[in-house]
């Protein structure tokens, strides 16, 4: 073999190893997105369930119970295309119901209200973290998928382009302060 042929072979093997490593990295990022999305779905479901349970417990006044129950029910039943909007509406309902500290105090003073308020505050606190983890994984995968080498060599395969989960997840300040 001639030295030129050997160098060409070395370069081809090196490029092949690099592309294989990049495809593996992209696959790991997609797996991370799937895991983060499952965690986000679990936190959103937990928040909606706790809100729905609190709305039906009789601890809140009737108007607040109806608003919170309908928003939580809509969030739990939303189809994937409407999920971000329904979850944002649940966040807005939570902020409306727990706009002032007096409402939180009234819930905490009711029988069983202390545990319900703490559980809701914990669920509300975890949603932004889970969403941030998911969106960070999506951002990393998007950045890698936009590289020329990934597009030219089709290293992403048939995996769908990752989409971030955008919603209003600002927790009600009075609930977080009082439950802490």
pLDDT at 179: 63
Chain centre distance of CA 165: 6
* CA–CA–CA angle 62, 63, 67 (5° rounding): 115
CA atoms within 13 A on the CB side of 30: 15
Question: For position 113, what pLDDT does the model report?
Answer: 84
Residue 128 Cα to chain centre, angstroms:
7
pLDDT (0 to 100) of residue 58: 87
The predicted structure's pLDDT at residue 35 = 98
- Where does the chain have alpha helices with state H? 3-56, 62-77, 83-97, 101-109, 113-145, 148-152, 173-179
Q: Do residues 165 and 134 lie in contact, with contact meaning Cβ atoms separated by under 8 Å? A: yes
Q: Give pLDDT, residue 178.
A: 66
Per-10-residue mean pLDDT for the chain, 180 residues long?
A: 90 94 95 98 97 92 94 96 96 94 87 89 96 98 94 91 95 81
For residue 177, what pLDDT is reported? 83
pTM across the whole model: 0.91
């Amino acid at each position: 073999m001639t030295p030129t042929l050997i160098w060409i072979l070395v370069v081809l093997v090196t490029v092949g190893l690099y592309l294989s490593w990049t495809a593996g990295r992209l696959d790991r990022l997609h797996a991370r997105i799937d895991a983060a999305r499952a965690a986000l779905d679990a936190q959103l479901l937990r928040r909606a369930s706790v809100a729905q349970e609190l709305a039906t417990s009789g601890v809140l006044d009737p108007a607040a119970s109806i608003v919170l129950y309908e928003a939580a029910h809509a969030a739990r039943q939303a189809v994937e295309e409407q999920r971000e909007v329904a979850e944002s509406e649940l966040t807005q309902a939570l902020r409306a119901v727990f706009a002032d500290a007096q409402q939180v105090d009234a819930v905490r003073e009711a029988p069983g209200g202390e545990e319900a308020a703490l559980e809701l505050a914990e669920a509300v606190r975890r949603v932004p973290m889970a969403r941030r983890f998911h969106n960070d994984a999506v951002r990393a995968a998007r950045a890698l998928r936009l590289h020329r080498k990934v597009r030219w060599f089709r290293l992403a395969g048939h995996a769908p382009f990752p989409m971030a989960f955008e919603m209003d997840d600002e927790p009600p300040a009075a609930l977080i302060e009082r439950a802490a």
